[in-house]
């Protein structure tokens, strides 16, 4: 049975991410679609509800045990809980370990089989993995900052990513009636890039107008920062409609 995230605690997932980066080094980066280690620390740290520095520290702690160019934490004993993870998972082969780490983000062990999503992303399975992890990291980034942001202070946050309503978060405030704020979050690897809105997201932005916010987290390859666009269809952003046709293959039989 393939390994999965089901019974692995949050902190242990972060430790395993560090172990994976240490053991498989550049192969691990390539498999997840990251350009460099700093991007992996940022994206994995936020996506796993940890800190980028924690992912780096876990990688460095395991480095003395693997043949890479880094010395890591060579002159200090390994922490007991990290030793337990190393003893349990350190012998995993590349394919099994990659499947385990991808399962933390609900990616299948062979994401090439997720044909619809990979084709729609116009990229390889590894670039699709990177986009999915970066998107999740951007959402966790917003959740972490929301209570301190002037536009969203004193609001109760509700995650709506599984609702299919055209935005990632609904924010409500006591005593303000049925009105709510909607926030759609996008993540970019670099300082700038292209973002896309689905028909549902565009429709929600058109309907909600000043109550719809686009929250863009950028520059995961270096240090994440963000931009906030209220009523983005009327803001400085300019959206153009792009239509794609995806060819699906199936096998039929008469019975």
Residue 4 falls inside a structural domain: no
Q: How many CA atoms does the CB half-sphere of 194 hold within 13 Å? A: 5
Burial code of 168-190, b = ≥16 C-beta within 10 A, e = fewer?
bbbbeeeeeeeebbbbbbbbbbe
Considering the domain architecture, whether residues 35 and 123 belong to the same structural domain is answered as yes
Same domain, 112 and 207: no
Sign of the torsion formed by the C-alpha atoms of 230, 233, 239 and 242: positive
Count of C-beta atoms within a 10 Å radius of residue 157 = 16
Give the integer Cα–Cα distance in Å for 108 and 133. 13
One domain for residues 104 and 164: no
Q: Let me know: does 195 contact 216? Beta carbons within 8 Å.
A: yes
Task: State the pLDDT at residue 66.
Answer: 93
Segment 135-152 mean pLDDT: 96
Residue 125 above 60 pLDDT? Answer: yes
Could you tell me if 23 and 86 lie in one domain?
yes
Asked whether residue 100 is assigned to any structural domain, the reply reads yes
* 125 and 155 within one domain: no
Query: By the 8 A CB rule, do 201 and 212 touch?
Result: no
pLDDT digits (tens, 9 = 90+) for 225-248: 999 999 999 977 878 777 666 566
Same domain, 39 and 111: yes
Query: Is the predicted pLDDT of residue 2 greater than 70, yes or no?
Result: no
Check whether residue 157 and residue 123 sit in a common domain: no
- My answer on whether 22 and 116 are in the same domain is yes
Query: 116 is written with which tokens?
Result: 């619809």
Q: 226 in a domain, yes or no?
A: yes
Asked if 173 and 125 sit in the same domain, the reply is no
Answer whether residue 136 is part of any domain. no
Distance of alpha carbon 229 from alpha carbon 143, whole angstroms: 17
Domain co-membership, 24 together with 106? yes
19 is a domain residue: yes
Domain of residue 101: give its range: 10-129
* Three-class DSSP labels, 10-64: HHHHHHHHHHHHHHHHHHHHHHHCCCCHHHHHHHHHHHCCCCHHHHHHHHHHHHH
Does 23 reside within a domain?
yes
Between 113 and 97, the higher pLDDT residue? 97
Counted domains in the chain: 2
pTM of the model: 0.86
Q: What is the mean pLDDT of residues 131-153?
A: 95
Residues 120 and 169 grouped into a single domain: no
**CA 187 from centre of chain:** 8
Rounded-to-integer distance, Cα 30 and Cα 241, Å: 32
Q: What is the CATH number of the domain that holds 216?
A: 3.40.1350
* 50 in any annotated domain: yes
Whether residue 78 is contained in a domain is answered as yes
Residues 30 and 124 in one domain: yes
């Amino acid at each position: 049975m393939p390994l999965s995230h089901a019974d692995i605690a949050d902190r242990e997932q972060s430790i395993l991410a560090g172990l994976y980066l240490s053991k498989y080094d550049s192969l691990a980066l390539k498999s997840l679609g990251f350009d460099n280690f700093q991007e992996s620390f940022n994206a994995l740290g936020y996506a796993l509800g940890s800190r980028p520095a924690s992912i780096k520290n876990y990688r460095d702690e395991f480095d003395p045990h693997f043949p890479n160019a880094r010395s890591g934490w060579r002159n200090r004993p390994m922490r007991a809980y990290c030793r337990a993870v190393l003893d349990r998972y350190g012998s995993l082969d590349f394919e099994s370990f990659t499947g385990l780490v991808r399962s933390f983000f609900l990616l299948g062990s062979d994401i090439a089989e997720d044909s619809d999503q990979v084709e729609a992303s116009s990229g390889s399975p590894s670039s699709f993995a990177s986009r999915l992890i970066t998107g999740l990291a951007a959402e966790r980034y917003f959740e972490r900052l929301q209570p301190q942001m002037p536009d969203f202070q004193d609001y109760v946050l509700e995650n709506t990513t599984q609702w299919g309503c055209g935005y990632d978060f609904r924010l409500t405030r006591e005593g303000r009636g049925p009105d709510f704020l909607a926030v759609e979050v996008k993540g970019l690897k670099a300082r700038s890039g292209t973002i896309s809105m689905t028909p549902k997201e565009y429709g929600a932005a058109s309907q909600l107008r000043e109550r719809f916010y686009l929250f863009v987290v950028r520059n995961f390859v270096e240090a994440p920062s963000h931009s906030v666009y209220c009523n983005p269809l009327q803001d400085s952003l300019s959206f153009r409609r792009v239509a794609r046709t995806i060819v699906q293959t199936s096998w039929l039989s008469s019975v």
